[in-house]
């Protein structure tokens, strides 16, 4: 096993047991190292750190698998997958869909596995995990016994890693659509198309939180609605009307299916960019949900993202009835909860509104947050009431 030496500047992250080390934190590595190769890691003073995999093509050159000496990496991967799935089994009481493996959150960097009523959607996003693919797939089959496994790996991330991407069936059979049950609400999932691995499972708890504030007669605006989770939850809780807004044709297709599945009768679907929609919308609402895709994939995009959030909040507050609720979410690590609070306050000052924070919201438990790995806390949201 080849050796990689970290710079002295990486010592803080070593003590933190952070799983990522960037190219500029590497002091020494063999010139003939292959992408994704398993390596032993040492400090600049020669102290053993742990075992990881290395990719000279990636800005995140080293990803740690263990901070111990590991004799058998395949056994380690197998054990980690078993442990991750075991921790999720209790979720089956309330849902037939959950994230079974959450990358760094389950100490398996580069691997995401979602479970949908017996079918699996898999993302293998790094060269190191690609080299371990056979072990991963064999373990998933052995432990979960899925009906089928579909590869939905992230092409953009894999390109950075120097990998090709072929989204395809890799085991069993996977139908074009799967119906899942979440807290007695049904959703159609298209594993072979749509967003990421199929459905935004991380918002499960937040859909419940927001919808519990619905009162009879409420009108709901679900912006960036995707599959319609928030709006459908609100309708089933007693809302009279929901307007869904999403620019994606695949999202609209999913929305129509989901409204039919859940007997949603009084609704409209607008296929349009949410920013453009808000320029001309005049209807007023009792609940508005703002759940956009990641505006800030890097820290350099943070300021532009905050400007986008402020625009959405300004327009949303003008459409919100007195004593109405507005929920805003960010799925970017680079946007903090403090950022969301500050931009909400700035928007409220401009519109002359007083806002009460009702709930702080984060990703659900099957998307675990590891303190040692700050990037695992990515989803934040607040629910506010307009006084």
Q: Is 48 left (phi over 0), alpha (psi -120 to 50) or beta?
A: beta
User: What's the angle, vertex CA 60, arms to CA 54 and CA 62, rounded to 5?
Assistant: 30
User: What's the angle, vertex CA 280, arms to CA 275 and CA 285, rounded to 5?
Assistant: 85
User: DSSP per residue over 247-304, as a string?
Assistant: S-HHHHHHHHHHHHHTT--SEEEE-S-HHHHHHH----EEEEEE--S-S-SSGGGHHH
CB within 8 A of 60, min separation 6: which ones? Answer: 20, 21, 22, 23
**Per-residue b or e along 144-159, where b marks 16 or more CB atoms closer than 10 Å to that residue's CB:** bebbbbbbbbbeebbe
Active site residue 29: no
Distance of alpha carbon 222 from alpha carbon 237, whole angstroms: 15
Do 207 and 383 form a contact (C-beta atoms < 8 A)?
Answer: no
Do 357 and 384 form a contact (C-beta atoms < 8 A)?
Answer: yes
- The residue among 231, 265, 267, 228 whose CA lies nearest residue 248 is 228
- The residue among 285, 188, 271, 281 whose CA lies nearest residue 229 is 188
The catalytic residue positions are 331
């Amino acid at each position: 096993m080849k050796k990689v030496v970290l710079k002295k500047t990486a010592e803080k992250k070593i003590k933190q047991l952070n799983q990522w080390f960037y190219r500029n934190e590497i002091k020494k590595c063999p010139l003939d190292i292959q992408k994704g190769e398993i390596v032993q890691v040492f400090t600049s003073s020669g102290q053993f750190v742990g075992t990881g995999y290395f990719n000279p093509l990636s800005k995140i050159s080293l990803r740690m698998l263990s901070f111990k000496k590991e004799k058998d990496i395949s056994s380690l991967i197998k054990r980690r997958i078993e442990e991750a799935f075991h921790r999720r089994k209790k979720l089956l009481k309330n849902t037939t869909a959950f994230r079974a493996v959450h990358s760094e959150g389950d100490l398996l960097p580069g691997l995401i596995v979602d479970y949908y009523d017996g079918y699996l959607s898999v993302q293998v996003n790094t060269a190191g995990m690609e080299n371990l693919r056979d072990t991963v797939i064999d373990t998933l089959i052995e432990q979960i016994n899925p009906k089928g496994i579909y590869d939905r790996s992230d092409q953009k991330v894999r390109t950075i890693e120097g990998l090709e991407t072929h989204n395809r069936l890799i085991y069993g059979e996977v139908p074009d659509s799967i119906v899942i049950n979440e807290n007695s609400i049904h959703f159609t999932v298209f594993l072979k198309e749509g967003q990421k691995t199929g459905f935004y499972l991380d918002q499960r708890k937040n859909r419940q939180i927001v919808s519990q504030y619905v009162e009879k007669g409420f009108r709901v605006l679900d912006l960036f609605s995707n599959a319609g989770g928030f709006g459908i939850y609100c309708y089933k809780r007693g809302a009279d009307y929901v307007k869904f807004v999403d620019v994606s044709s695949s999202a609209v297709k999913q929305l129509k299916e989901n409204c039919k599945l859940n007997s949603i009768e009084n609704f409209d679907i607008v296929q349009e960019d949410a920013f453009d929609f808000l320029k001309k919308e005049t209807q007023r609402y009792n609940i508005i949900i703002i759940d956009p895709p990641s505006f800030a994939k890097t820290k350099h995009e943070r300021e532009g993202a905050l400007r986008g959030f402020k625009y959405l909040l300004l327009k949303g507050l003008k459409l919100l009835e007195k004593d109405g609720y507005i929920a805003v979410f960010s799925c970017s690590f680079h946007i903090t909860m403090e950022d969301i609070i500050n931009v909400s306050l700035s928007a409220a000052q401009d519109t002359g509104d007083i806002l009460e924070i009702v709930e702080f919201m984060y990703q659900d438990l099957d998307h675990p947050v590891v303190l040692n790995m700050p990037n695992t806390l990515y989803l934040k949201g607040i629910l506010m009431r307009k006084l």
